[in-house]
Homo-oligomer: A and B are copies of this chain.
Amino acid sequence: MIRVVVIGAGNVAQHLILAFQKTKEVQLIQVLARNKMELSCLLDSNLITSDFNQLKEADLYIIAVSDNAIHDVSSQILFDNKLVVHTSGSTDMSVIHSKNRKGVFYPLQTFSKTKSLDFSRIPIALESENTSDYKLLEKVAKAISNEVYQINSEQRKALHVAAVFVCNFTNHLYQIGETICEENKLPFELLKPLILETADKIQTLSPNEAQTGPAKRNDTTTINAHLNFLKDENQINIYKTLTKSIIDNGKKL
């Protein structure tokens, strides 16, 4: 059994805690969180501490806190030469305090506390300083996911930027869709099948093959009608910027 400590109480920490509780290969021996109450419904309160001096000795410490707190948290780990990893897409492995062996355990998914997830289908991007640590991380990752990848810090930064485009920015486009519906007394429900199908399409077609719409067709009549319809400055700028990019992309193909 690999003994794991999770540090953090946010979305990623909570989903990891739930995932580890379902495995036989990994024993979650402790969770360290500033606010113990946040986790009280997830696991036995004996397993939770808010005191770094109470930290147990483990094979792996997973720091799942905000990016700018990773270094500070890693320096507070009492033990030396232990394997300590963070879960951040955009943070270099080197921010972890050098008294310990460093690694990264980055689950590539959008986590919300109120929505459960099948962790087995979440890709986990791993990185470590040496091969034996990588093998341990791989065992832990494979205990909860079928999609485990070795990815270096430079690639992980690229992956995180790509994730911002396909997840955070996409969700904001959904939000604009909802706003336009509300302003025109249309139920947002109308757009939900379209949103699901758009995401489902690129599971089998490439995004280039799946592209449709007025920009793809260079249909300036419709594009101008849409720009006349829009009143919000941010919506207009997003419409123009994305339309230009789709048209430019079409010229490249």
A197 beta carbon closer than 8 Å to chain B:
yes
Give bound CA distance, A208 to B241, whole Å: 22
A-side interface mostly:
helix
- 0 or 1 for each of A173-216: is its CB under 8 Å from B? (1 = yes): 11111101101111101111111111111111111111111111
- Stoichiometry, as copies per complex, reads 2
Given known contacts A121-B193, A198-B110, A216-B168, A159 and B173 CB-to-CB distance under 8 angstroms: no
- 0 or 1 for each of A218-240: is its CB under 8 Å from B? (1 = yes): 01011001100110001101110
Determine the chain B residues whose CB is within 8 A of the CB of A189 once the complex forms: 123, 147
Give bound CA distance, A230 to B160, whole Å: 12
> Which residue of chain B has its CB nearest to the CB of A187?
B149
- The answer to whether B201 and A112 touch across the interface, beta carbons within 8 angstroms, is yes
Determine the chain B residues whose CB is within 8 A of the CB of A241 once the complex forms: 234, 237-238, 241
- 0 or 1 for each of A105-123: is its CB under 8 Å from B? (1 = yes): 0001111101101000111
- The answer to whether A172 and B211 touch across the interface, beta carbons within 8 angstroms, is yes
- The answer to whether A184 and B213 touch across the interface, beta carbons within 8 angstroms, is no
Give bound CA distance, A216 to B164, whole Å: 11
Q: Nearest 4 A-B pairs (CB), nearest first?
A: A168-B213, A199-B199, A175-B207, A158-B184
Q: List 24 A-B contacts (CB under 8 A).
A: A90-B214, A90-B222, A108-B191, A109-B197, A121-B193, A154-B184, A158-B184, A159-B190, A163-B194, A164-B214, A165-B173, A166-B191, A168-B214, A168-B215, A170-B170, A171-B202, A171-B211, A174-B210, A175-B207, A192-B203, A199-B199, A199-B200, A234-B245, A238-B241
- The answer to whether B185 and A155 touch across the interface, beta carbons within 8 angstroms, is yes
- The answer to whether A110 and B183 touch across the interface, beta carbons within 8 angstroms, is no
| Chain A residues bordering chain B, tally (CB within 8 A) | 97
A157 beta carbon closer than 8 Å to chain B:
yes
Determine the chain B residues whose CB is within 8 A of the CB of A221 once the complex forms: 67-68
Of the candidates B161, B169, B222, B242, the one whose C-beta lies within 8 Å of that of A67 is B222
A21 beta carbon closer than 8 Å to chain B:
no
Given known contacts A115-B201, A165-B180, A190-B123, A211 and B245 CB-to-CB distance under 8 angstroms: no
- The answer to whether B215 and A195 touch across the interface, beta carbons within 8 angstroms, is no
Given known contacts A121-B193, A238-B241, A172 and B246 CB-to-CB distance under 8 angstroms: yes
- The answer to whether A209 and B161 touch across the interface, beta carbons within 8 angstroms, is no
A151 beta carbon closer than 8 Å to chain B:
yes
Determine the chain B residues whose CB is within 8 A of the CB of A238 once the complex forms: 165, 169, 241-242, 245
